[in-house]
Amino acid sequence: MSLPTALVIPAFNEEKHLESVFLDLQKQKISLPVVVVDDGSKDRTVEIAQRYTSHVIRHGVNTGKGGAMLTGAEYALRLPGIESFVFLDGDGQHNPAEIKLFLEKLDQGHDLVFEVRNIWQKMPRSRSLGNHALSRFIQWRYGVYIPDILSGFKGFSRAGFESVRWQALGYEVEMEIAARVAQQKLPYTTLEIETIYHDFERGMNVLDALRLISKLPLWP
């Protein structure tokens, strides 16, 4: 029996891409419940989301990616029967066809499923270096190497979520999740998937990575 799973899409000003994400889900015949957390958008993100799902949550102000992810995760696990969820970015940089791979891993009993892109292909060099720096820092600090920390394509069982429940509200959420996994030596599995990188203005460079590392002591 498949583990009942929902999709969670944190979104901030994603009117340009969000509809395409839903259309791609339809093309792949993915009929899972979809939770969209609008994190204080000023555009038509909410209007577009409401065309495709009844599970739309609105933040009155922009709390940050971590805050939107936490709201979406908690909401998803309150849905009747749902025992796991997969985060999917609202900017079209994740291939919905690969959601089925996450479902297979969750059905096999994995509590934490992380995507791994080839960060040295397609991604801007500064972003690749920043991503790699975070993985090496976590390895140095905790002795555990976690690749592609900055990717938002992740799957969690209910137990997996409770083991890494985060405090970070901003983009540092990905770093906190990795730190909690490494610190507790939690088992996780990875999926090698397609690298899609169509917005060169987004993402973190080496300086951004250093700022995230400086926040690590704030987390228990």
Per-domain residue ranges for the chain?
5-218
- Residues of the chain whose pLDDT is less than 50? 120, 200
Q: Could you tell me if 69 and 8 are in contact, meaning their C-beta atoms sit under 8 angstroms apart?
A: yes
- Side by side, the strands of the sheet bearing 84-87 are 55-59, 34-39, 5-11, 84-87, 154-157, 112-116, 189-192
| Total residues found in the chain within this entry | 220
| CATH architecture, domain 5-218 | Alpha-Beta Complex (3.90)
The pLDDT value recorded for residue 148 is 85
